[in-house]
Amino acid sequence: MPLFGKKDSGKKVRKETKEGCEKQPSIDEKYVIKELLGTGAFSEVRLCEHRETAQQYAVKIIDKKALKGKEDSLENEIRVLKRFSARRSDGTGVGIGPLPGQTDKPPRFAHPNIVQLLETFEDKSKVYLIMELVTGGELFDRIVEKGSYTERDASNLIRQVLEAVDYMHEQGVVHRDLKPENLLYYSPAEDSKIMISDFGLSKMEDSGFMATACGTPGYVAPEVLAQKPYGKAVDVWSIGVISYILLCGYPPFYDENDANLFAQILKGEFEFDSPYWDEISDSAKDFIRQLMCVNVERRFTCKQALAHPWISGNAASSKNIHGTVSEQLKKNFAKSRWKQAYHAATVIRQMQRMALSGGGGGGGAYGRSASRISNAAADGTTPAPAGSDQDQQQSGTAGVGQTDSSASSSK
């Protein structure tokens, strides 16, 4: 049923039964809402506790007034999350059952690496999403804090992401905004699993292809920027970008000039810079090339990626690369950088304006005068390897440092 416009304030979204509409308690009757965990443009996330069981969850609280005109986006997110919300194995073979008071439905196991929506509430001014609580922190923060980090660690992380996204694709869902900020550790435990979160831009691929430009430019596939119809392959490209960053600590595409940056993405032009990639295995580089292939027909699917030796075999090196990677992550992905999503539609409009004016990259999505930043550093420059020419000449043209012979342009 649609969420908005109901008159029964404070009541859970009603569920149709054979007897009619079943009245449900308000959120305050079932949960104690506690401290703030995070904030977004239209919402905040708080800790909440189930009154009957004392089990803790996260509650995403969406302000209807702030969301006005974007209600369809929220309804789409809930629709997608409900597709994954079912009994689920926690990795021990034990299913996560229904909440107290809910009827036990036939087991339909969701994926252990996807954050689960448990139930929804709505009142006159807000919508409440009760979510699985994830407490382990963001991907890059944990890597920086580690004392040791290897290719094998990166391979294990990407394997979990691929398995979850492959499951999503089998369910007909495309995430469309995969990026490190949406990859969270389930718990502070050393062996914690990775969870995929934030399905605000996800779409059920009913018609086979989509055309709406969305995502975060640094991770968005070329076909989206080119305004071509696209499908599940856009998620694979994003995983390729994340894999690249996990092995060196900086993004594959960077340039102070907006037009140059977009051209790099559209052409798939990236390099394995020396010395940052000197100790990285050829298998890892091949894996990235297969995922970041501009030709959608040749780009790996999730299943093909899972079968690659770097993921399924022993090709990933066990050499400690923590020092180099953590240094680059701290430089290029500090808390103040790369944190604001900038939808690809905005980027495309900027590209069109530049084409009409013949202008360069001064005031665009990544330029110095931009008030909103996505793949630009806090000072307006685009991240580049520490020690590169750009690092030494922040006001000059972008440099990528020394490069070896393994430059790539994946066609």
191 among known catalytic residues: no
- Among residues 8, 28, 72, 177, the one annotated as catalytic is 177
Q: What is the length of the chain?
A: 411
Is 60 known to sit in a ligand binding site?
yes
Q: How many CB atoms lie within 10 A of CB 71?
A: 16
Q: Which two tokens stand for residue 107?
A: 């087991």
The three-state (H, E, C) secondary structure of the chain, written as one string: CCCCCCCCCCCECCEEECCEEECCCCHHHHEEEEEEEEECCCEEEEEEEECCCCCEEEEEEEEHHHHCCCHHHHHHHHHHHHHHCCCEECCCCCEECCCCCCCCCCCCCECCCECCEEEEEECCCEEEEEECCCCCCEHHHHHHHCCCCEHHHHHHHHHHHHHHHHHHHHCCEECCCCCHHHEEECCCCCCCCEEECCCCCCEECCCCCECCCCCCHHHCCHHHHCCCCECCHHHHHHHHHHHHHHHHCCCCCCCCCHHHHHHHHHHCEECCECCCCCCCCHHHHHHHHHHCCCCCCCCCCHHHHHCCHHHHCCCCCCCECHHHHHHHHHHHCCCCCCCCCCCHHHHHHHHHHHHHHCCCCCCCCCCCCCCCCCCCCCCCCCCCCCCCHHHHCCCCCCCCCCECCCCEECC
Find all residues with CB under 8 Å of 66, minimum gap 6, and list them.
Answer: 41, 42
> What residues contact residue 160 under an 8 Å CB cut-off, 6+ apart?
113, 193, 194
**What are the residues whose beta carbons fall under 8 Å from the beta carbon of 289, sequence distance 6 or more?**
408, 410
Report yes or no: 289 and 112 within 8 Å, Cβ to Cβ: no
The type of residue at 86 is A
Which residues are annotated as catalytic? 177
- Which residues are annotated binding-site positions for ATP? 60
